Amino acid sequence: MGRKLFGTDGVRGRANTHPMTAGMALQLGAAAGRYFRSDGANGHRVVIGKDTRLSGYMLENALTAGLTSTGMNVLLLGPMPTPAVGYLTRSMRADLGIMISASHNPHHDNGIKFFGPDGFKLSDTAETEIEALLETDIPPAAPDEIGRARRIDDGLGRYVEYAKTTFPARVRLDGLRVVLDCAHGAAYRAAPEVLWELGADVVALGVSPNGFNINDGCGSTDPAAAAAAVRRHRADLGICLDGDADRLVLIDETGQIADGDQIMALLARRWADEDRLTDGVVVATVMSNLGLERFLSDHGMRLERTAVGDRYVVERMRAGGWNLGGEQSGHIVMTDYATTGDGLIAALQFLAAMAATGQPASRLARSFTPVPQLLRNVRFAAGCDPLGTDSVRAAIAGAEARLAGHGRLLIRKSGTEPLIRVMAEAEDPTVMTEVVGEVVAAVEAAG
């Protein structure tokens, strides 16, 4: 059976619309429970975390019903960053971890992400097998083998304490003022607490979730308010997390934004100098700027590129035994510390560099000059395939011919939204803008 539900990051969609319905969540819970309890033994457990979307209550309850119906014991963490779920899945010796979140998407979307017992996201193979179980009659557990569910009250505290261990011992952030935008999302309690306990003067934004305001005019996808707050409060650094806190962007003291490529460049250079960067390799996706690749090469390091999606970055890192990777969008994966992107721990690594060097964020966040890059997203109607039309193919071929030897073009469908992403890099910004415009116009006309 082909994959119909699982995309590049679990199952995702509009809340209360297929596949993000209570009924489907119950079925997914039962299928996942049967998959991880295939030996029929009791005692299997699953941890469930969520972000702050209103629909999280519905999906949490439905998943719990499905899982317990097959004999799985459920440990409910409540609002919790995605990387915390990965960490606690492994720490609590669970067979499965589940995060209910649509990451950076608006509140009306939601998603379900699965983690294996090692804390890493499930493989495509495992997800496909779980999806196949949905087409079968899943036998329920016997009445005396139904699973139990309980709330875990100290899950947040466990993650807070762990996050602090990734920061250098005996180093404090006294004297540093940090604007922290939590996007009204999953880290609204954990992130401010960690920075405050480490001594920072925290100006907290996006910490009043109401079920509807997650990622709304805030967070890593809309950092304008945080940038203004950095300037207004004369802060040393701004940190913007997304809804489930697995990604970030940084803002220096002048209000300028640094993306994931700049963060990876800084960490790679520091880790290489400290002989901590495995094999001198950084793993990033095809979206990362050519400037990052050149910077790494100039300093004796190498960039390995993957398909878009932090799961593919992690897979390549694990296959190669490498410990640093990420995405331009702000997923920073450090397998020495976490099993997935962790915006808070990445921010702590940047703050550690500030503390160690005494240099301002504006200097540390500008390791290289990016090659001009333009990305535009084009929404298309359900059922359409703009990339399959002759007109779009011709536009792409023409754009690639213009950029040959002077830049690159990347066209891809989003794995989480009905969007075509059109990206070009070129030394000549005029040519870059023209070729992106031509392809976008063709996609709009076809979709």
Is residue 161 a part of any domain in this protein? no
| One-letter amino acid for residue 315 of the chain | E
What does the CA dihedral 383, 384, 385, 391 come to, rounded to 10 degrees? Answer: 160
* Predicted pLDDT at 1: 47
Is residue 165 a part of any domain in this protein? no
Mean pLDDT of the region 156-178: 97
Domain span at residue 53 reads 6-155
Cβ-contact 384, 338 below 8 angstroms: no
316 and 266 within one domain: yes
377 and 352 within one domain: no
Is residue 166 a part of any domain in this protein? no
pLDDT tens digits, residue range 26-70?
Answer: 999 999 999 998 777 778 999 999 999 999 999 999 999 999 999
Is residue 435 a part of any domain in this protein? yes
* Pairwise CA distance, residues 60 & 51, whole Å: 11
Identify the residue with better confidence: 68 or 311: 68
Q: Residue 398, CB half-sphere, CA atoms under 13 Å: how many?
A: 15
CA 436 centroid distance within chain: 26
Is residue 271 a part of any domain in this protein? yes
pLDDT tens digits, residue range 118-142?
Answer: 999 998 899 999 999 999 999 999 9
Identify the residue with better confidence: 7 or 300: 300
188 and 126 within one domain: no
Is residue 163 a part of any domain in this protein? no
* Predicted pLDDT at 7: 84
Q: How many domains does the chain have?
A: 4
Q: Is the pTM of this model over 0.85?
A: yes
- pLDDT > 70 fraction of the chain, expressed in percent and rounded: 99
| One-letter amino acid for residue 413 of the chain | K
- The DSSP bridge partners found for residue 282 are 303
Mean pLDDT of the region 11-26: 96
Peptide bond between residue 19 and the one before it cis (omega within 30 degrees of 0): yes
146 and 96 within one domain: yes
115 and 78 within one domain: yes
- The CATH code of the domain that includes 355 is 3.40.120.10
212 and 135 within one domain: no
420 and 303 within one domain: no
238 and 110 within one domain: no
Domain end marker among 222, 237, 257? 257
229 and 95 within one domain: no
The mean pLDDT value of the chain amounts to: 95
Is residue 279 a part of any domain in this protein? yes
DSSP state of 123: P
Q: Binning pLDDT at 50, 70 and 90, where does residue 2 land?
A: low
pLDDT tens digits, residue range 201-251?
Answer: 999 999 999 999 999 999 999 999 999 999 999 999 999 999 999 999 999
Q: Tell me which of 69, 101, 103, 220 is the catalytic residue.
A: 103
360 and 274 within one domain: yes
353 and 273 within one domain: yes
Residues in the chain: 447
242 and 278 within one domain: no
Nearest Cα residue to 199 out of 236, 175, 173, 176: 173
Question: CB within 8 A of 83, min separation 6: which ones?
Answer: 245, 246, 338, 339, 340, 341, 342, 343, 344, 345
Is position 208 annotated as part of the catalytic site?
no
Is residue 296 a part of any domain in this protein? yes
Domain end marker among 200, 230, 257? 257
- The CATH code of the domain that includes 395 is 3.30.310.50
Q: Binning pLDDT at 50, 70 and 90, where does residue 383 land?
A: confident
Domain end marker among 189, 224, 257? 257
Mean pLDDT of the region 297-321: 95
